[in-house]
Amino acid sequence: MNRLSRARRAVTLASAAAISLALAAPASAQETFKLGIVTFLSGPAADSFGVPARNGGTFVIDQLNKGGAPSPYEKVGFGGMKIEPIIIDENGGATKQVQELRNLYQRDNVDAVLGYISSGDCLAVAPIAEELKKMLVLMDCGTPRIFEEGKYNYVFRTAAHATMDNVGLIRYMKAKNVKMETLSAINQDYAWGQDSRADFVAAAGQLYPNAKLVTDLLPKFGAGQYGTEISALVSAGSDVVYSSLWGGDLQSFILQASPRGLPKRSQLVFSAADHVLPPLGDKMPDGTIIGARGAYGLMSQKSPLNDWFFKGYEGANGVYPVQAAYRMTQAILGLKAAVEKAMAKNGGKKPSTDELVAAMTGLEWQTPGGLVQMKLADGHQAIQSIGFGRTKYNPDLKRVDLVDIQYFPAECVNPPPGVKSLDWIRGGMQGAKCN
């Protein structure tokens, strides 16, 4: 080994660095809208949420770029500008997401960033976008803390937060006269599980004031084995077993609980379980009450927009769309509506970030999952309606159908502006408009 080859190696390294910098240089094109999309492509949330969201996003963007979407979204791309997506992986923790968000804005010069499924990531990236004064659309994450603890001008969330999942669930149980004198809960021991549990218990305290919480379990995230938990739940024998488990954890829980008779002893209620119906199939016990975090998937309501999306997605991916795909779609359509509203105002030019922000604030738009309204947090946080139903296996179609579906309007299950979610629930859900 000598000096020469070391110098050569240094040159190779330097040129590799130069090439990567050159590749990173922004391509300037007038007629496109560069959209950074962040969703889980790896990790535990990829199969359940991240990849369906990605598939929903690519389907909708393809359709929009071809001008193939139904009214009122028939314009090509965003107001005539083709959408140029840059998709990156949300896996890797909040530190990485903050860095990647900066890279998207500052290096790749995207016009807006849309995505994020994990609440921790949403909380971490929101202040960064605000500081950089760049448009950020959060599409999914559950926690209400984002706008309840912070105030943002450049950040929007185009889906309702997790409060309605549990308030709606309790309202559904009450409407269907589900008996609940005793209640048990099993939730993952991290923010989503802890918060969902708190919301559900608080809402139950309002509508079922006599219900007693018997067994309250918090297994760790990704546990996979629930033998002892199921024993505890079976021996407790409470009327209702509530869970906010999702993905692989929920599938394992159901697969392990069914043979031990838990679904026969207790009414199972799951706040966000629609995404496990396709993989579980006939393993899903009939009569389980489930939510989908909106009027999504098999609970979606018929409309030309939903027919286009449901059938198109099913055709492209071989499986029907579930919650995350809907949420991605409603975020993209919302952004499209905002861009076109801003362009109508400024005479058809590509809108600046501030024009875009002004157009998005307080916006209302139609989506495959129904009407979305930016009503909370000064027009930055969406509310929407939600559906719940009971599972029933359909042997002809070889899929789990949902029966007994009931919808609750957005203002029935979401807190009014200016009230913190948990305070609203504990205060008796004042001002809810349920018709």
CB of 134 to other proteins, least distance (A): 9
223 binds other proteins (CB under 8 A): no
Cα dist from 199 to 148, 161, 241, 340, whole Å: 15, 12, 15, 37
93 binds other proteins (CB under 8 A): yes
194 binds other proteins (CB under 8 A): yes
Per-residue contact track with other proteins, 30 to 69, x per CB under 8 A?
-----------xx---------------------------
By C-beta, is 88 or 338 nearer to other proteins?
A: 88
By C-beta, is 22 or 397 nearer to other proteins?
A: 22
Per-residue contact track with other proteins, 126 to 155, x per CB under 8 A?
xxx--xxx---------x-x---xx-----
Q: Which stretch binds other proteins (CB under 8 A): 86-94, 235-243, 311-319, 390-398?
A: 86-94
Tokens representing 139?
């599409």
- Alpha helix ranges (H) inside 25-152: 44-45, 51-66, 94-102, 119-132, 145-149
- Alpha helix ranges (H) inside 258-303: 262-265, 277-280
CB of 200 to other proteins, least distance (A): 15
Does the N-terminal peptide bond of residue 44 adopt cis geometry, omega within 30 degrees of 0? no
Tokens representing 416?
């009014």
94 binds other proteins (CB under 8 A): yes
CB of 145 to other proteins, least distance (A): 7
Residue whose tokens read 């020469």: 4
Residues contacting residue 273 through CB under 8 Å, at least 6 positions apart = 245, 246, 250, 288, 290, 291, 292
Tokens representing 374?
């930016």
Residues contacting residue 264 through CB under 8 Å, at least 6 positions apart = none
Give the footprint of other proteins on residues 258-317 (CB under 8 A). none
Can you tell me which of 47, 75, 82, 96 binds other proteins, judged by CB under 8 A?
96
Establish how many alpha carbons lie within 13 A of residue 136's alpha carbon, considering only the half-sphere containing its beta carbon: 28
By C-beta, is 1 or 397 nearer to other proteins?
A: 1
By C-beta, is 132 or 213 nearer to other proteins?
A: 132
Beta-bridge mates of residue 83: 33
Cα dist from 315 to 68, 206, 400, whole Å: 15, 44, 19
107 binds other proteins (CB under 8 A): yes
Can you tell me which of 11, 14, 24, 29 binds other proteins, judged by CB under 8 A?
24
17 binds other proteins (CB under 8 A): yes
Beta-bridge mates of residue 401: 392
- For other proteins, the binding residues (CB under 8 A) are 1, 5-6, 9-10, 17, 20, 23-24, 41-42, 86-89, 92-96, 98-100, 102-103, 105-108, 119-120, 123-124, 126-128, 131-133, 143, 145, 149-150, 189-191, 194, 221
